Each structure stands twice: as C-alpha cells, then as structure tokens.
A and B are shown apart, each in its own frame.
Chain A
Amino acid sequence: MKVLKFGAVWCPGCLLMRPLWDEIEEEMPWLETEYLDVDENPALVKKYELDTFPAFIFLNKSGEEATRLIGEVKKEKIIETIEANRDK
C-alpha cells in the first residue's frame, strides 16, 4: 500500500502532522509514503476532490483509493487505518 500525504507549508495542522508521520514511517519502514504540496500539485488535489488539509489518501496495491483521513488525526487512528488496509 501507499499513502499520499497532502499538505501545505502555510497550514498549521499540516505542520503538526509532520513529526507524527516521521515516527510512523520510522516504526513501519515497509510503508511507502509520498508528500504532496497542495500548491504545487493542483491537478492531484482536483483529482481526489480535496478542499481540507492535511489529507491522507491510502492507496491499495492497484493504486486506487482504499480510504482517506482528513484533518489533524491521532497517531493511533493512522496506525489502525494502515493495519486495516495493509493487505488490500
């Protein structure tokens, strides 16, 4: 699976989520993630119909969206979502 992390340098919530994701990525080295700045990737923002950030899109093995988390989310909730979608 892969997680697309949408954020912006001007968004306080996105900044707060950064260290949280650093911890998760360190704990789950197998997890593939990609950070996407919303100002630099307007096409992807449009594709996923995003208007609130931070936004985390969880892709399945075939690259399709499995689920998403929006806003400031707790670390436990993210791990729970990763575990639930790990084999999809």
Chain B
Amino acid sequence: MSNKLKTLLATLLLLAVVLTGWGTARAEDDPVSVNLFYGRGCPHCAKEIEFLGELEMENPDLEVRYFEIYFNESNAKLFQLAGQKLGIDVSAVPMTVVGNESISGFGGAETTGKKIEDAIDNCRQEGCKDNIGAILAGEEVNIETADSAEQSSAESDANDEESIPEEIDLPLFGTIKTKDFSIPVLTILIAGVDGFNPCAMWVLIFLITLLLGLKDRRKMWILGIVFLAASAGVYYIFMAAWLNIFLFVGAIFWVRLAVAAVALVGGIYSIRSFYVNRDSGCKVTNTEQRKKLTDRFREVLNRRSLWWAAIGLVGLAFLVNLIELLCSAGLPAIYTNILSMSALPASHYYWYLLLYCLIFLADDIIIFALAMVTLKVTGVSTKYGRWASLIGGVIMLLIAVMLLFFPELLMFG
C-alpha cells in the first residue's frame, strides 16, 4: 500500500470517527452530565437535589447541573427550549435530563432515583450526548434525539405509574388506586362541605318564595334553572380565576404560605362558629344590602317578559356571588391551590372545577326541585350547616398543616 493510500485511509478513518462519534458520544473519562430542572419551593425537587448531591459525591465522573426555573428567567427559557428541541414534557418539575433520557418527577431513591442511575449507567456504557450542554453552547440538536427523548420520557412515565402501586382495600369499593382516587375524593369532600356554606343559601330560599308566588310552573322552572345555572357559571369563573392565578405564580413558597394562612384562619373561624352558633339559627347581617337585593329580585321577577326576567336573574346571580365572594372564598381558594400543585393535563383542571361546582350546587338543586314539585318552600336545616362548618374547619386545619409541612401529600398526578 502506497504512502498516499495509507494517508488517505487514515484521513478517512479519522473523519469517520469525527463524524460518527465526536460530540455525540462521551469518551470513557468524560463526565456524565445530569441536568436537573427544578423549582424553588417544590418539595419533590428538594428531595431530588438531595439525592443528586449524594450521587455526585459517590460518583466523581458525574457533573450535575441545576436549573432553577421559577425565579430564573433564562433557565425557564432553557427549559422551554429543551422541551421544543428534545420533545420533553415541560409542564412540571423536577425534570432530569441525562443524555437522551428525560425523567419526570421524583418519587424517591428507590423508584425515580433508580431510573436516573440506570440512565447514567447507560451513558457510561454506550455513550451519550449532553443535549442540554449542546443547547447551552448554541449547537444544533439532532432531531432524532427528540424522538428518542420523547419515547424515553413516555417509558419513564409508564414505569413511574407501575412503580406507584399504592392501593387501598375498602370493604365496599374493593381495591382502589389512591393515586387515581385522591383528587376526585378531595373535590367531592371540599365541594360538599362548601355546598352547605350558608352564604348564598338565603338568596335561593328567597327566590323560591318569590317563584312560588308566580303560579306559573313553566316560568318557575325556567327562571329557577336559569338562576342556578348562572350561579354555577359565576362560581366556575371565580374558581377558574383562582386556579389560573395559582398556575401563573407557580409553586412559590410564599403563595403556599399565604394559602396555608387562609386555611388556618378559616379553619379556626369555622370551628369557632360551630361552638358559638349552638342555636343553629340564621344570623342577621348586612340588613341594608339584603333589602336592596331582595327589592331587585322582586323587580326582576315582576318583568312581563320571561327572557328579560331571565337576563335579570343572570345579572343578579353574578351580583350575589360577587357580594358573597369573601364569605365563601376560603374553601375554593384552598381547593384551587391544591389543584394547581398537582401535575395534570390542562383540561383535567377544568373538569375538576366543573365537578366541584356540580357538587357545590347539589343541595341547592335538591331544594329547588323539591319546592317546584311540592309547591312548598323548605330549607336545609341550619344544623347541617353547623356540622359542615365543623368538618370544613377540621379539613382546613389539616390542609394548612399539610401545606406548611408536607406539601407533597397534596400533589397528585
């Protein structure tokens, strides 16, 4: 073989090595890069930081990069960019990226931690590209990486689900996965207690009394349903607003602290109400305001046009719920905060809000339907409201303690 040919072969070999291996696979002695996207105040993130710290101490070949995304704008942008380039789900933190693998969430050293270690081992054995490092360096990331990362992430999610087999056996319901069960139960529980909140109940009772005086069943049903639907709609809008505020500000520690304070004060107030209001009666408050509202209701129901009356009732439903907002804001605010802490697909948040509003209105719907069928107005005993106040108070105190000390217990999904 001539020298020229040898030189050409050597050049081609070198070129092949450079093109196929250089920059995509790490050499044996190169550190393995582990990239953690996290949020300050997120308890799962804190656990993973601790875990990665120990792992880094035990493995000198590891290089762990930490990217805080709640307060650091450039890190948040990097996270979004990584999502676009690598196909990573950027809806929640912690998110760990090792080579082509992206691992969402952190359950513990035995579950997610094991997956991170496997990804590191995989990198050591087969080599991998530091994709986040490449993005930081402004390099183009191979589009194939995106597919594989997405797949890896999906597999990781599937494995995560398998690794959380927390099930409970209930006598009547059988075996139930707590992970799938927690939010609906919490929704029903809080909305049920909130439903007995007497803040807006007096309006419904007053409206039914006026409706029964109309002597026109069709009109009674239509106007009553319009009022209930409008009330549910207004409550839904208020709750969606709360939810979006919490989703927007994220899991910031002081927000959690503020909600915990609301839960604490609300809980103490509700329990106090249970003991103070032993007579289970209706308290007279805001007489002037109530008189104005009742006059408006009379005026609206006296309208000759059914549709104008219906439009008027929609406006009054908005007004009443706005006035009573402070009275009944505690539980919805606490609930939406818990919901915002859970990693759910966007549409699920709004389905849960709908479920909340339906449960919240259940007692109103029953009272209305009974009155329309029997043509007699009746109320739910204020004794139930008193007990709901106690149960609600205890729930609020428990939530306050969890928000302060064990927030991970309130993070579902």
Total count of chain A residues near the partner, CB < 8 A:
22
Query: Which residues in A have their C-beta under 8 angstroms from that of B382?
Result: 12-13, 71-72
A71 contacts B202, C-beta separation under 8 Å: no
B281 contacts A13, C-beta separation under 8 Å: yes
Query: Which residues in B have their C-beta under 8 angstroms from that of A39?
Result: 287, 290-291, 294
Given contacts A53-B284, A70-B281, contact A12 B381 (CB under 8 A): yes
Q: Which of B336-380 contact A (CB under 8 A)?
A: 377-380
Query: CA separation between A77 and B379, bound complex, in Å?
Result: 21
Query: CA separation between A38 and B206, bound complex, in Å?
Result: 14
- Chain A proximity of B194: nearest CB distance (Å): 16
Query: Which residues in A have their C-beta under 8 angstroms from that of B287?
Result: 39, 42
B281 contacts A45, C-beta separation under 8 Å: no
Taken residue by residue from 253 to 294, chain B's Cβ proximity to chain A (1 for < 8 Å, 0 otherwise) reads as 000000000000000000000000111111110010011001
Taken residue by residue from 279 to 320, chain B's Cβ proximity to chain A (1 for < 8 Å, 0 otherwise) reads as 111111001001100100000000000000000000000000
User: Is B151 at the interface (CB under 8 A from chain A)?
Assistant: no
User: Is B203 at the interface (CB under 8 A from chain A)?
Assistant: yes
B378 contacts A11, C-beta separation under 8 Å: no
* 8 Å CB contact of A54 from B206, B281, B290, B291: B281
User: Is B177 at the interface (CB under 8 A from chain A)?
Assistant: no
User: Is B201 at the interface (CB under 8 A from chain A)?
Assistant: yes
Query: CA separation between A39 and B198, bound complex, in Å?
Result: 18
* 8 Å CB contact of A72 from B206, B281, B290, B294: B281
Given contacts A15-B205, A39-B291, contact A8 B381 (CB under 8 A): no
Interface residues on B, range: 20 to 34
A52 contacts B291, C-beta separation under 8 Å: no
Query: CA separation between A45 and B294, bound complex, in Å?
Result: 19
Query: Which residues in A have their C-beta under 8 angstroms from that of B145?
Result: none
B379 contacts A8, C-beta separation under 8 Å: no
Given contacts A11-B202, A11-B205, A39-B291, contact A52 B279 (CB under 8 A): yes
Query: Which residues in A have their C-beta under 8 angstroms from that of B284?
Result: 8, 38, 45, 50-53
- Chain B proximity of A15: nearest CB distance (Å): 4
A12 contacts B281, C-beta separation under 8 Å: no
* Nearest A residue to B383, CB-CB: A72
Q: Which of A1-59 contact B (CB under 8 A)?
A: 8-16, 38-39, 42, 45, 50-55
Query: Which residues in B have their C-beta under 8 angstroms from that of A53?
Result: 281-282, 284
User: Is B209 at the interface (CB under 8 A from chain A)?
Assistant: yes
16 A–B contacts from the bound complex (CB under 8 Å)? A8-B284, A9-B205, A12-B201, A12-B282, A12-B378, A12-B382, A13-B379, A14-B282, A51-B284, A52-B277, A52-B283, A53-B284, A54-B282, A71-B280, A72-B279, A72-B382
Besides the contacts A15-B378, A53-B281, A70-B281, what 19 more A-B pairs have beta carbons closer than 8 Å? Answer: A9-B205, A9-B209, A11-B202, A11-B281, A12-B201, A12-B282, A12-B378, A12-B381, A13-B280, A13-B282, A13-B379, A39-B294, A50-B284, A52-B283, A53-B282, A54-B282, A72-B279, A72-B382, A72-B383
List residues of B whose CB falls within 8 A of some A CB: 198, 201-203, 205-206, 209, 277-284, 287, 290-291, 294, 377-383
